[in-house]
Amino acid sequence: MELRPAHEGSRAREARFEALSGVVAEPLHRYLRRRADADSVDDVLAETMLVLWRRLEDVPGLGAEGSVDPDEVLPWCYGVTRGCLANARRTERRRLRLVERLTQVAAPQPEAEADHLELHQALGTLGAVDREVVLLWAWEGLTPSAIAQVTGLTANAASIRLHRAKKKIAARLDRKNAHQAGHRTDEEGSRR
């Protein structure tokens, strides 16, 4: 058995991590830009990359020689990022509660973009998991099986949740558009 210097193993690990980073850094950054305030995006991404470094051996789709299969790696990394974001939000909520108690002032709520206000309102009617399923599908372009891996749902449950959430959003947007266009809904017609 030939012993190699320890730095050779660390170089191989660094090369594997660099290959992983090259594939996942930009998609994870986009994921966070859509879900976190601009001030915390880089911090959460750094925390995610630290977790990925620590758990490098656990990353599915990452070969020992540094080959990366994006279809296997990305859903797992989105799951890690989602967890890091949840931790950051919990930390921020605790900090805000403390500041609020100290100053007796509530933190301001972020406003939805004006041109997408109806869509944000429709998304707001969904539960947290359903909203995340829709956003993973719409913004990240994930399939229901990849969404299942990110959220911890089964592929079937993710598919059903996605279908129902899309129908709920469409119905809500259609109702608003029907009222704005001056059309009667079936409910209005039956009252007369």
Q: CA 92, CA 44: separation in Å to the nearest integer?
A: 12
For domain 111-192, is the CATH number 3.40.50.2300?
no
Q: CA 48, CA 15: separation in Å to the nearest integer?
A: 18
The structure tokens listed for 45 are: 């991404």
- CATH 1.10.1740 domain residues, the chain: 1-110
pLDDT in tens, the chain (192 residues): 444 455 557 899 999 999 999 999 999 999 999 999 999 999 999 999 999 999 999 999 998 887 899 999 999 999 999 999 999 999 989 988 877 776 654 444 455 455 578 888 888 889 989 999 999 999 899 999 999 999 999 999 999 999 999 999 998 888 766 555 544 444 444 444
Give yes or no for a contact between 165 and 133, defined as CB atoms under 8 angstroms apart: yes
Architecture of domain 1-110: Orthogonal Bundle (1.10)
Q: CA 145, CA 153: separation in Å to the nearest integer?
A: 9
Given this model, what pLDDT does residue 133 score? Answer: 92
